[in-house]
Copies of this chain bind each other. A is one copy, B any other.
Amino acid sequence: MKRWNPTLMTALMLMICAAAGAEEGMWRPGQLPDLAKELKELGLDLDPDTLTDLTAHPMNAVISLGGCTASFVSPEGLVITNHHCAYRAIQYNSTPENNLLADGFVAGSRDQERYAGPGSRVLVTVEVRDVTDVILADLDAGQGGRERYQVIEDREKALIADCEKGEGYRCRVASYHGGLQYELIRQLEIRDVRLVYAPPESVGKYGGDIDNWMWPRHTGDFAFYRAYVGPDGKPADPDAENVPFLPAHHLEIAADGVDEGDFVMVVGYPGRTNRYRTAAEVESLFSWSYPTRKRLFEEWIGVVEEATSTRPDAALKYAPTLAGLNNASKNYGGMLEGFSRSDAVPRKQSLEAELQAWIEADPEREARYGAAFSHLAKLVDERQGLRERDLYYLYLARRSSLLSSARTLYRLSREREKPDAEREPGYQDRDLTRIRERLIRVDRSFDADVDRFVWRHLIGRYAAIPTEMHVGAFDEWFGIDGNSVDATYLDLKLGEMYAETGLDEQETRLAWMDATRVELEKSDDPFLRLAVHMYDADMAIEEQNKDLNGRFLEARPRFMEALVAFLDSQGKAVYPDANGTLRVTVGTVAGSAPRDGMRYLPFTTLAGVVDKDTGVKPFDTPPSLLEAMRRGDSGRWADEGLGSVPVNFLTTLDTTGGNSGSPTLNGRGELVGVIFDGTWESIISDWDFLPEKTRSIHVDIRYALWVMEQLGGAGHLLEEMGIEAAPEYPIASAGGR
C-alpha cells in the first residue's frame, strides 16, 4: 500500500468547503472566510475574517465548561450558560433545608457567590495549531494496530506535555475525520468557578423530562457563573483571596432580541456527530445499539426510582443521574423514530457505491484508495463482534461508583510505576487533580444501597449475554456459571462488599491515592480486591481494543480522504464531524414543518407558560411569575410583534450536545439567547442532517432578563451586563429574594 500524504489532504480539505449551503455544518472558524458570500446573504454584519481569530472578539468570549459551552458577558468574568449545565453546581450547593434547585439562587454581592464544586472549570481557548505532520510523521500502514495506536498516543502526550508548560494551561490533541488531521489546542484552565445566579428549577427546568427535546418549549434554561483567578491573575485553586477573572473580551447583550428570519450564529464546542459513518455502522447502531441501550436505560431508571422512592435524601443525590439517563433514553427514542422515517442507510449505500465506482474509474485513485472502503468495512465488522462485551461488560457490569473508585486507585498505582510520559492518559501527573476531584465528587451522587441495587441489576443483565462475551475473572468473583446467577450468593457477596468496604468514605478514598501497588494489593477492602482481581483480564481487553482502534486510525482517515476527494470532485463542501472543538454554525430564526399538517412557530411566549402550568412539577412556575404572566406584565421585554415576552425560539442552526450553553449571536456578534436543546425531529441530525426539519431551541435573552427582574435581587447583574436600570426594578441589590 502506498503512503498517503496528510498535509496535502489537509490543504485539499480547506479548499473545498465553500460549496453547498452554509446552514448545514459545524464549521471550523478557519473555514468561515470561504463562506463569506453566503454569510453576508444570510445576514452576517461582521467581517468573517474577525471570526477566525480565536483571541479576538467575539470568539475569545466563548468558553468551554467541559461538556457544555458558555460565554463571558461582562468585563469582570460573569459567565452565562444553561441551567442544566450548572445543574451539578446548584445541586452541590443544595441541602434539603436550603434547596437551591427548588428555590433558585442569586448572589447579592461578590462574597455571596458560591464555589461551583470540584471539577468545575472554565476553559478559554488561547491557541490552536495544526500538528498533523508531527503526529503522523513516518507512520505507514506497515505497523500493526497496537503499535500505531501507541506511537500516536506517545506523540500526543509529548505535544501536550510541552504545551502545558507554564502553569494554568490545559492542552489536548484533537483529531479530525477520524485521524486525517490533528490539532493541538491550548486552553487557559480556570478552576475557581462560582455560582452567581440560577432561577428556580421550576423556571430553569420548566417542563422537565416531559418537555425535553420538545417544541413548543417554555424553559428558562439559563444560569450565571463567575470565573475567579488568583490575585496574580493566574488560575488558582478555590480561595477566598481569589479575584474575578478579567477576560480580554466579552459579549454585549442585544436586549432588542431577534425576529423571525434574522441571521443568527452559535459559537461553541459541539461534542460528537457521526455524519460520515458507513451504512453498515449506521445499520448496526440503529438496529442493535440504540434499541438495546434504550431498553437498558429505561430499566436502569426504574431501578433507581424504585431504590429511591421512599428516600428523599437519596432521591436528591440521584436526581442528576436520573436526568442523564432520562435524557439519553429519550434521545435514543428520538434517534430511532427519526431513523425509522429516514432513508439514511440506502442513501449511504448509494454514496458508497458511487465512491467505489469513482475510485475504480481512475488508476491513480484506484492505487491510492482502492482498498480504503473494504478495509474499513472489515474493521467495522470486527468491532460489531465485540459490541455485547463492550456494552454489557465494560460499560454496565462495572458500573458501581465504589468499583470505579477502586479501579481508578489501583490503575493509578500501576501507572505510577512508570515514568510520567509513559503512563496511560488520564493517569499522568497532570491528571491527579481531576482524579482527586472525582474521588471527592463521588459522595454527591452516591448512596450505598442505591449503588448496590443498581449494580446487582446490571450484573444480572451482563450474565444473560452469550457466555463467549463473558469475562472469566468477573464470573468467578460473583459465582456466575454460564448464564446463571445464584441470586442468594450474589446478594451475600454484594452485602459483604458494601458492609466491609471503606471506599464509601471520602477520606479513605483520598488516602489510597498515595498508596503503592503493593499496598493496594495487600488491602482487604473488597472493592480494591475486586479491582486487583480483574486487572489482568481488563488489561487484555484494553490491549485488544487499542489494537483495533490503532487499525481504525489507519483505515478511517484513508476512507475519509477518499470520500472528501470524491465530494470535492462534485463541488460539495465538507466540514468535519464535531469532536469537542470550537465550531461556528450559521442560520436564521425559523419555525419548521415537522410533520404533515402542522407547523412549529419560531417563538413561544409567556402565555404558553401559563397554558402549560398545572402547579405540579415540572409545570410549576413560581406563583409570583405566574401571576405576572397572567396579568400580561411583560415589563420592558415584550416583543412588539408577539405582544409578549419571547420565551424560547427556534433556529436552523446545526448543533449537538456540547453546544448546550453556547451564546446565540446576531449578525453583529451580540448575544440574543442561549442554546439549550434541539427539537425531537433534530435528534437524528447527529447522523443525518435534514435541513427542513432540524431546529435548535434557544432561551431568548429577553425572557432571562424578564425573569431576573420579576424575581428581583439581580439588578446589579443586569447593570454589570450593561443593561440600564428600569425605574420599577432598581439596581440596588437586596442581597436576596
Is there an interface contact between B597 and A603, defined as CB atoms closer than 8 Å?
Answer: yes
In the complex, the count of this chain's copies comes to 2
Interface positions, chain A 579-614, Cβ under 8 Å from B, are 595-601, 603-605, 607-609, 611-612, 614
A605 touches B596 (CB 8 A): yes
Contact between A341 and B611, CB atoms less than 8 A apart? yes
- Contact B604 A601, beta carbon cutoff 8 Å: no
Given A598-B216, A598-B598, answer yes or no on A340-B614 (Cβ-Cβ < 8 Å): yes
Q: How far apart are the CA atoms of A218 and B598 in the complex, in Å?
A: 12
Interface flag for A215 (CB, 8 Å): yes
* Residues of B close to A551: CB separation below 8 A: none
Distance in angstroms between the alpha carbons of A607 and B596 in the assembled complex: 7
Nearest-CB residue, chain B, relative to A648: B597
In the complex, the answer to whether A608 meets B597 with C-beta atoms within 8 Å is yes
How long is the Cα–Cα vector from A648 to B598 in the complex, in angstroms? 12
Q: Does A114 contact B (CB under 8 A)?
A: no
CA distance A215 to B598 in the complex (A): 8
Known: A341-B611, A614-B340. A599 touches B596 (CB 8 A): no
Across the interface, which residues of B come within 8 angstroms of A595, CB to CB?
A: 216, 608, 611
- A217 within 8 Å of B by Cβ? yes
CA distance A600 to B600 in the complex (A): 9
Smallest beta-carbon distance A514→chain B, Å: 56
Q: Which residue of B lies closest to A642 (CB)?
A: B596
The answer to whether B600 and A597 touch across the interface, beta carbons within 8 angstroms, is yes
State the Cβ distance, A69 to closest chain B Cβ, in Å.
25
Taken together as a complex, chains A and B put the C-alpha atoms of A674 and B75 apart, in Å, by 65
Residue from B218, B341, B596, B608 in contact with A218 in the complex, judged by beta carbons closer than 8 Å:
B596
Point out the residues of chain B lying under 8 angstroms from A218, CB to CB.
596-597
Residues 375-427 (chain A) with a chain B CB within 8 angstroms: none
Contact assessment for B600 and A598 in the assembled complex, using a CB-CB cutoff below 8 Å = yes
Bits for A192-224, please: 1 = Cβ < 8 Å to B, else 0: 000000000000000000000001111000000
Question: Chain B residues with Cβ under 8 A from A607's Cβ?
Answer: 596
Across-interface contacts of A608 in B (CB, < 8 A): 595-597
Q: Residue on B with the closest CB to A614?
A: B340
Q: Which of A200-255 contact B (CB under 8 A)?
A: 215-218
Do A598 and B596 touch (CB < 8 A)?
Answer: no
Residues of B within 8 A of A603 (CB): 597
State in angstroms the CA–CA spacing of A614 and B215 once bound together: 23
**Complex CA distance for A648 and B595, rounded to whole angstroms:** 14
User: What are the residues of chain B within 8 A of A614 when measuring CB–CB?
Assistant: 340-341
Residues of B within 8 A of A341 (CB): 611-612, 614
Residues of chain B lying within 8 A (CB to CB) of residue A340: 614
Task: Report A341 CB to chain B, min CB distance, Å.
Answer: 6
- Contacts of A597 on B, CB cut-off 8 Å? 215-218, 600-601, 603-605, 608, 648
- Chain A 603-635 residues near chain B, CB threshold 8 A: 603-605, 607-609, 611-612, 614
Q: Smallest CB-CB separation from A646: which chain B residue?
A: B597
Q: How far is the CB of A619 from chain B (nearest CB, A)?
A: 9
A735 to chain B, nearest CB (A): 35
Against B, the Cβ 8 Å flags (1 = close, 0 = not) of A24-38 are 000000000000000
A599, B607: Cα distance in complex, Å: 15
Distance, CA A151 to CA B185, complexed state (A): 93
List the B residue with the shortest CB-CB distance to A650: B597
A215 surroundings in chain B (CB, below 8 A): 597-598
Most B CB within 10 A of own CB, among A595, A600, A607, A648: A595
Contacts of A612 in B (CB 8 A): 341
Please measure, in the bound complex, the distance between the C-alpha atom of A595 and the C-alpha atom of B598, giving whole angstroms: 12
Q: Digit string of A699-723 for contact with B (CB within 8 Å is 1, else 0)?
A: 0000000000000000000000000
The A538-591 residues at the B interface (CB cut-off 8 A) are none
Most buried by B among A340, A596, A608, A611: A596
Nearest opposing residue in chain B for A644, CB measure: B596
Which of A597, A599, A600, A612 has the most C-beta atoms of chain B within 10 angstroms of its own C-beta?
A597
A569 to chain B, nearest CB (A): 30
Within the assembled complex, what's the spacing in Å between the Cα atoms of A340 and B611? Answer: 9
Shortest distance between the CB of A567 and any CB in chain B (Å): 27
Q: Given the complex of chains A and B, what is the CA–CA distance between A596 and B607 in angstroms? A: 7
Q: How distant is the Cα of A215 from the Cα of B597 in the complex, in angstroms?
A: 8
Task: List residues of chain B with CB within 8 A of the CB of A609.
Answer: 596
Question: Which residue of chain B has the shortest Cβ distance to A649 in the bound complex?
Answer: B597
Contact A604 B596, beta carbon cutoff 8 Å: yes
Q: Which of B217, B598, B604 contacts A599 (CB 8 A)?
A: B598
Cα distance, A341 to B630, chains bound together (Å)? 13
A286 to chain B minimum Cβ distance, whole angstroms, is 13
The distance from the CB of A677 to the nearest CB of chain B, in whole angstroms, is 13
Whether A601 pairs with B601 at a CB distance below 8 angstroms is no
How near does chain B come to A726, taking the closest CB pair, in angstroms?
25
Complex CA–CA separation, A605 to B648 (angstroms): 29
Taking Cβ atoms with an 8 Å cutoff, the residues of A that contact B are: 215-218, 340-341, 595-601, 603-605, 607-609, 611-612, 614, 648
The 6 closest A-B pairs by CB, nearest first: A596-B608, A216-B597, A597-B604, A599-B599, A596-B604, A597-B601
26 A–B contact pairs at CB < 8 A? A215-B597, A215-B598, A216-B595, A216-B597, A216-B598, A217-B597, A218-B597, A340-B614, A341-B611, A341-B612, A341-B614, A595-B608, A595-B611, A596-B604, A596-B605, A596-B607, A596-B608, A597-B600, A597-B601, A597-B603, A597-B604, A597-B608, A598-B598, A598-B599, A598-B600, A598-B601
| Extra A-B contacts (6), CB below 8 Å, given A218-B597, A596-B604, A596-B605 | A217-B597, A341-B614, A596-B608, A597-B605, A598-B598, A598-B601
